[in-house]
Amino acid sequence: MSTADHSTHSADRRTVSLVTLGCARNEVDSEELAARLESAGWSLDDSGDASVVLVNTCGFIDAAKKDSIDTLLAASDSGAKVVAAGCLAERYGAELAESLPEADAVLSFDDYASIGERLDDVMAGREHRPHTPQDRRRLLPLSPVERSGADVQVPGHGTVRDSGTGTARPAPPEDSGPDLPEGVAPASGPRVMRRRLGSGPAAPLKLASGCDRRCSFCAIPAFRGAYVSRRPTEILDEAHWLAAQGVREVVLVSENSTSYGKDLGDLRLLETLLPELAAVPGIERVRVSYLQPAELRPGLIEAIATTPGVAPYFDLSFQHASGPLLRRMRRFGDRERFLGLLEQIRALAPEAGVRSNFIVGFPGETEQDVDELAQFLSAARLDAIGVFGYSDEEGTEAVGFDGKLDAAEIDSRVADLSSLAEELTAQRAEERIGSAVDVLVEEPGEGRAAHQAPEIDGGVTLKGDAPVGRIVRARVVEAMGVDLLAVVDGP
The residue ranges of DSSP E strands in 295-427, in sequence order, are 313-315, 353-360, 384-389
- Least trusted range by pLDDT, from 77-91, 329-343, 371-385: 77-91
User: Given this model, what pLDDT does residue 58 score?
Assistant: 87
Residue among 294, 387, 305 nearest 354 (CA): 305
User: Given this model, what pLDDT does residue 489 score?
Assistant: 86
Kindly list the distances between the CA atom of residue 48 and the CA atoms of 18, 38, 120, 416, in Å, as whole numbers in the listed order.
11, 18, 19, 42
Residue 275 burial (CB count, 10 A): 14
User: Given this model, what pLDDT does residue 194 score?
Assistant: 87
User: Given this model, what pLDDT does residue 173 score?
Assistant: 30
Q: End-to-end CA distance of the chain, in Å?
A: 48
Q: d(Cα 254, Cα 205) in Å, to the nearest integer?
A: 9
User: Given this model, what pLDDT does residue 350 score?
Assistant: 95
Residue among 134, 68, 64, 133 nearest 102 (CA): 68
Determine contact, residues 481/458, Cβ cutoff 8 Å: yes
- Least trusted range by pLDDT, from 139-148, 162-171, 233-242, 355-364: 162-171
Q: d(Cα 40, Cα 254) in Å, to the nearest integer?
A: 27
Q: d(Cα 28, Cα 207) in Å, to the nearest integer?
A: 11
Q: Is 89 annotated as a binding residue?
A: no
Residue 477 burial (CB count, 10 A): 12
- What is the arithmetic mean of pLDDT over 341-346? 97
User: Given this model, what pLDDT does residue 149 score?
Assistant: 64
| Encoded amino acid at 463, one letter | K
User: Given this model, what pLDDT does residue 392 score?
Assistant: 93
Determine contact, residues 65/90, Cβ cutoff 8 Å: no
Confidence check: pLDDT of 432 > 90: yes
Residue 55 burial (CB count, 10 A): 25
Q: What is the pLDDT of residues 163-191, one digit of tens each?
A: 332 322 333 333 223 344 455 554 444 44
User: Given this model, what pLDDT does residue 5 score?
Assistant: 45
Q: d(Cα 88, Cα 23) in Å, to the nearest integer?
A: 13
Residues 277, 281, 285, CA angle at the centre, nearest 5°? 50
Determine contact, residues 482/426, Cβ cutoff 8 Å: yes
Q: d(Cα 111, Cα 118) in Å, to the nearest integer?
A: 7
For the sheet with 384-389, list strands across it: 313-315, 353-360, 384-389
Determine contact, residues 101/117, Cβ cutoff 8 Å: no
Determine contact, residues 55/83, Cβ cutoff 8 Å: yes
CA count, 13 A, side-chain hemisphere, 134: 12
Confidence check: pLDDT of 282 > 70: yes
Q: Is 211 annotated as a binding residue?
A: yes
Q: Is 23 annotated as a binding residue?
A: yes
| Encoded amino acid at 114, one letter | S
Residue 171 burial (CB count, 10 A): 16
Please tell me which residue, 444 or 155, carries the higher pLDDT value. 444
Q: Which residues pair with 52 in a beta bridge?
A: 16, 81
- What is the arithmetic mean of pLDDT over 20-40? 89
Rg (CA), the chain: 23
CA 489 centroid distance within chain: 33
User: Given this model, what pLDDT does residue 69 score?
Assistant: 87
Q: d(Cα 367, Cα 377) in Å, to the nearest integer?
A: 15
What average pLDDT is seen over the chain? 87
Please tell me which residue, 198 or 334, carries the higher pLDDT value. 334
Kindly list the distances between the CA atom of residue 136 and the CA atoms of 261, 286, 323, in Å, as whole numbers in the listed order.
20, 30, 30
DSSP codes joined into one string, 88-130: HHHHHTHHHHHH-TT-SEE--GGGGGGHHHHHHHHHHT----P
Confidence check: pLDDT of 385 > 80: yes
Phi, psi (degrees; rounded to nearest 5) at 252 = -75, 125
Residue among 163, 185, 40, 44 nearest 110 (CA): 163
Q: d(Cα 160, Cα 85) in Å, to the nearest integer?
A: 19
Say what the pTM is. 0.86
Kindly list the distances between the CA atom of residue 144 and the CA atoms of 147, 158, 267, 270, in Å, as whole numbers in the listed order.
6, 19, 11, 16
Q: d(Cα 71, Cα 54) in Å, to the nearest integer?
A: 10
Q: Which residues pair with 53 in a beta bridge?
A: 17, 82
Q: Is 230 annotated as a binding residue?
A: no
CA 317 centroid distance within chain: 14
Q: d(Cα 189, Cα 178) in Å, to the nearest integer?
A: 18
